[in-house]
Amino acid sequence: MTEGTKSHYEVIVIGAGVAGIYQIKRLVDLGVDAVVLDAAADLGGTWYWNRYPGARFDSESYTYGYSFSKELLDEWHWKEKFSGQPENLRYLNYVAEKFDLRRHMRFNCKVEAARFDEAQDLWRLKLDDGRDLSCRFVIMAVGLLSTPTLPRFSGMDSFKGRSFHTYYWPHEPVDMVGKKVAVIGTGATGIQVIGEIADKVGELTVFQRRPNWSAPLNNSPISEKQMAEIRSRYDEIFATCARTPGGFEHEPDRRGFHEVTRQERLALWDRLYDEPGFGIWLSNFREIFTDEVANAEFSAYIADRIRRRVKDPVTAEKLIPKDHGFGVQRVPLETRYFEAYNRSNVHLVDISETPIKRITETGLRTTARDHDFDIIVYATGFDAITGAFDRMDIRGRGGRRLREKWAEGPRTYLGLQIEGFPNLFTLVGPHNAATFCNIPRCIEQNVDWVTALIAYMRDRGHTRVEPTPEAERDWLAHVHDTGRRMLFTQVDSWMMGINSNVAGKDRRTFIVYAGGAPKYREKCEEAAAGGYVGFTFR
């Protein structure tokens, strides 16, 4: 049987992004008969799709790369502190080539349905081209933000110019010189695009529903010499990442916010504002995340920074969030974003005042006026975390649908398995530390854990693993406990499962794990060390 016609594997991994690539590496090393399927034409996941101008890490590149191979760490030179999409995709291709992983990957393979066959302890998968595959284990490596969502404006098909969601940015260069461009959405993506294209297009009009708090990325190149120094510190760098809640290099300031003077707070903030990366968020006082007084004072500080950077005071006020504090949503990091609004070719339209009524043949109409465009960019975000699962018809024991089980919010054990859905693993799913993490750091730990469990079962001849309802109930309680004190749970954002463009996603739901990666790792290790406490085997 050729690989092309082969229809049964021990393990099928769905998704050839950062998680799927490492997962297949570990399975191949273990001698498991496994394959990775991806709906895309090639590997890379997030970094395959998001080709919009300005797409880049806001993790330090050298903390984002895989840590599992010293040889790989020694060979790869990250050229920028926060590397851009083309280089990130090159990196993932380099990894796949180096470890000869491509031959275990199938592209243009979209999984439409997965059904658990209880008699055989197998999963039966249906691809969108009608093919059927089977396997003992399914490992979902489908990404957190892989289901882009468009607004539901009328007339969207009638637009005669070019329009696309940022996730589907065309592979060939888009000529924007001299063009009239609209960007709808000012999340992390919109903020990256706007900063990048403002000085390259004819006219840029930004349609903002709600502003986001944002701070400078402070990117810079990495020289050969600096890279050599980074290589010599990799052990230390990854050790730091392993002990921080979000898997970053940035460690929180341990001083109590209320125990230092205002001058001391300002000194810290002035320093962090000019430093690269997420320090402004993650090396801040811990109270920023939990204490409304601390959060309000810091938010006022950032608001002043915005006022200093944006010349027109009316525009500046529009760019300052009034309905939530800094850092209670995912903080976009920006490059020249606020300065973009000082340019005469850039215009900000506040669509909370004048909502978009429809898309027209030549542009769009707000309640105030018509705008003409050559290109409309939808930077309108994703059906986050559970979206990719919702769109697959996944049926576990008794034909139960995952979508129905999760209708009132996801339930999992360790964010890695689901009661009623044996032999299915979610590497980057709800209630898993990877939801709130410098993601490869958490992915490596999850892949290692799942691989060890598969090896454990193989050694014992087990054919089925599934969490108990009690383990799942206790994990849900723990997930809720970790989020209880966090201000982010009081705000509508994708981190709380809100998406105004998807029916039913209008209720705040705990979908992330806020206990921090070290605590999460401890829980996973405890379960494994005790002989996989909370799981039943057959």
How far is the C-alpha of 239 from the C-alpha of 242, rounded, in Å?
5
Nearer to ligand NA7 by Cβ, of 379 and 527: the residue is: 379
Helix (H, G, I), strand (E, B) or coil at 418: strand
If we measure between CA atoms, which residue out of 138, 127, 57, 54 comes closest to residue 92? 57
Q: Least distance (Å) from ligand NA7 to the CB of residue 491?
A: 10
How far is the C-alpha of 370 from the C-alpha of 349, rounded, in Å?
12
Q: Least distance (Å) from ligand NA7 to the CB of residue 193?
A: 9
Q: Least distance (Å) from ligand NA7 to the CB of residue 15?
A: 16
Q: Helix axis angle, 439-460 relative to 18-29, nearest 10°?
A: 30
**CB closest to ligand NA7, residue no:** 187
Q: Least distance (Å) from ligand NA7 to the CB of residue 453?
A: 28
**What's the start-to-end Cα distance of the chain, in Å?**
30
DSSP state of 248: S
Let me know if 121 is exposed, middle or buried by CB neighbors in 10 A (0-12, 13-18, 19+): middle
Helix residue ranges, H only, 43-128: 46-49, 61-64, 70-75, 85-98
How far is the C-alpha of 279 from the C-alpha of 271, rounded, in Å?
10
Nearer to ligand NA7 by Cβ, of 167 and 510: the residue is: 167
Q: Least distance (Å) from ligand NA7 to the CB of residue 46?
A: 8
Nearer to ligand NA7 by Cβ, of 187 and 396: the residue is: 187
Nearer to ligand NA7 by Cβ, of 422 and 429: the residue is: 429
> Could you give phi then psi for residue 116, rounded to 5 degrees?
-85, 125
Nearer to ligand NA7 by Cβ, of 135 and 351: the residue is: 351
DSSP state of 329: S
Q: Residues in the site for ligand NA7, rule: CB under 6 A?
A: 145, 151, 184-190, 209-210, 330, 351, 379-382, 494, 500-501
Q: Least distance (Å) from ligand NA7 to the CB of residue 406?
A: 20
**Contact indicator for 201, 345 with CB cutoff of 8 Å:** yes
Token pair of 272 as six digits: 């962090």
Length of the chain: 538
Query: Is beta strand 375-378 parallel, antiparallel or unpaired with respect to 162-165?
Result: parallel
Nearer to ligand NA7 by Cβ, of 149 and 423: the residue is: 149
Q: Least distance (Å) from ligand NA7 to the CB of residue 7?
A: 35
Long-range contacts, 311-317 (Cβ 8 Å, 24+)? 311/342, 312/341, 312/342, 315/341, 315/348
Nearer to ligand NA7 by Cβ, of 125 and 183: the residue is: 183
Q: Least distance (Å) from ligand NA7 to the CB of residue 422?
A: 31
Nearer to ligand NA7 by Cβ, of 88 and 423: the residue is: 88
Q: Least distance (Å) from ligand NA7 to the CB of residue 249?
A: 18
Sign of the CA dihedral 86, 92, 97, 102? negative
- Residue entry with tokens 């950032």: 302
How far is the C-alpha of 283 from the C-alpha of 250, rounded, in Å?
5
Nearer to ligand NA7 by Cβ, of 120 and 500: the residue is: 500
Q: Least distance (Å) from ligand NA7 to the CB of residue 364?
A: 11
Nearer to ligand NA7 by Cβ, of 113 and 156: the residue is: 156
Nearer to ligand NA7 by Cβ, of 190 and 246: the residue is: 190
Let me know if 8 is exposed, middle or buried by CB neighbors in 10 A (0-12, 13-18, 19+): middle
Q: Least distance (Å) from ligand NA7 to the CB of residue 6?
A: 35
DSSP state of 447: H
Q: Least distance (Å) from ligand NA7 to the CB of residue 152?
A: 7
Q: Which residues contact 172 (CB under 8 A, 6 or more apart)?
A: none
Nearer to ligand NA7 by Cβ, of 381 and 515: the residue is: 381
Dmax (CA) for the chain in angstroms is: 72
